[in-house]
Amino acid sequence: MSWLAVRVAGASGATRDAIAAALIDAGAACVQEERDDLITYLPDDAPLDAVRGAIANDGGAVLELREAPATEVDRPWVSTVGISRAGRFIVAPPWLDVEPAAGEMVIVIDPAMAFGTGEHATTRGVLRLMEGVVEAGDRVADLGAGSAVLAIAAARLGASRVAAIEMDPDAVGNAEQNVLVNDVGDRVVVIEGDAETILPHVAPVRVVLANILSSVLIPLLSLVRRSLEPGGAAIFSGILVDERDEFVSALERDGWRVEREHIEDMWWTTVARPA
């Protein structure tokens, strides 16, 4: 198979999710974010009409294509993924050595799916807000678990049982491997399926972690609230700063109150509790 290296340069916050979705639909296994650019690999016969259409809606984004050797495609993220820090957490790929300071916790993530390495602001936002929310002995649900980095972090903070729910079968295998590498298999179980279907079967939980797009989160708010134990909390991320007011209004309508907030770059993350 022949491959194309794809870069969408200058994708804005308002349309980058639609462009990333179009790339996935065209056959990309994963999409990496590098500042304002989106990077991935596609078979050279991949349909690009939907991708070009999503880019056209941006107005300022530019599609860049080049031929890529198979050896580059095999591990496309190795040269770009580094060590990320968020609060007391250090997220690192397995090929980099880490020397944590006192009190720091290392999570080793093989970036087979690119997302969930700790290099994205939404992941870091949840990691920062988890401290003081996840407590020893908690039952936790991680919705849209991806690489399972957040589920692993919850176990590191003392959670006794974490359900890492992920609907992408390709991501599930990567998540299971990361759970084993981090030696939390006795506390974290990876479940393949849709969060709306699976969450009621693992509830009640004291904490829900949900790093997903706001358009997906809002319809889930009532289900998440009903799935919490008394005194429980949810951490929501994947929300653009300019979507904050709309999301807070949706929370208030559904009987939530915002407890803490965090902003990094264009992304907003919040701890919310039932009012």
CATH number of the domain bearing residue 49: 3.30.70
Same-domain pairing of 130 and 14: no
Can you give the pLDDT at residue 187?
A: 98
* Beta carbons within 8 Å of 111's beta carbon, 6+ residues apart: 77, 78, 81, 93, 117, 147
**CA distances, 80 to each of 40, 87, 252 (Å):** 12, 22, 40
Shared-domain flag, residues 69 and 121: no
Q: Could you tell me which residues are beta bridge partners of residue 38?
A: 8, 33
Range of the domain at 137: 116-274
Domain membership flag for residue 259: yes
Q: Is the pTM of this model over 0.75?
A: no
Residue 100 included in any domain: no
Q: Determine the angle formed by the axes of helices 149-156 and 121-130, rounding to 10 degrees.
A: 20
| C-alpha span between 255 and 67 (Å, rounded) | 52
Claim to verify: residue 231 and residue 156 sit in the same structural domain: yes
Same domain, 239 and 158: yes
Domain assignment present for residue 264? The answer is: yes
Please check whether residues 32 and 133 belong to one and the same domain: no
Scanning the chain, the segments in alpha helix (DSSP H) are 16-25, 49-58, 70-74, 121-130, 149-156, 169-181, 195-202, 214-227, 244-253
Residue-level length of the chain: 275
Predicted local confidence at residue 51, as pLDDT: 93
Q: How far apart are CA 134 and CA 138, in angstroms?
A: 7
Give the per-residue pLDDT at 81: 56
Q: Count of domains in the chain?
A: 2
What's the rounded Cα separation, in Å, for the pair 82 and 73? 18
Residue 125 shares a structural domain with residue 62 = no
From first to last of the 275 residues of the chain, give the pLDDT tens digit: 688 889 999 887 678 888 988 888 888 877 777 777 888 888 889 999 999 999 998 888 999 998 887 766 665 555 455 678 899 999 988 777 778 889 999 999 886 654 555 667 899 999 999 999 999 999 999 999 989 999 999 999 999 999 999 988 878 888 999 999 999 999 999 999 999 999 999 999 999 999 998 889 999 999 999 999 999 999 999 999 999 999 999 999 999 999 999 999 889 999 999 99
pLDDT given for residue 72 in this prediction: 63
- What pLDDT shows up at residue 117? 57
SS3 category, 45: coil
The torsion angle over the Cα atoms of residues 118, 122, 126 and 128, rounded to 10 degrees, is: 70
Residue 164 to residue 145: CA distance in whole angstroms: 5
Report yes or no on 8 lying in a domain.
yes
- pLDDT computed for residue 80 by the predictor: 53
Helix, strand, or coil here: 242? helix
Order of strands across the sheet that contains 3-9: 32-34, 37-43, 3-9, 62-68
Using DSSP's 3-state secondary structure scheme, residue 27 falls into coil
CATH of the domain at 206: 3.40.50.150
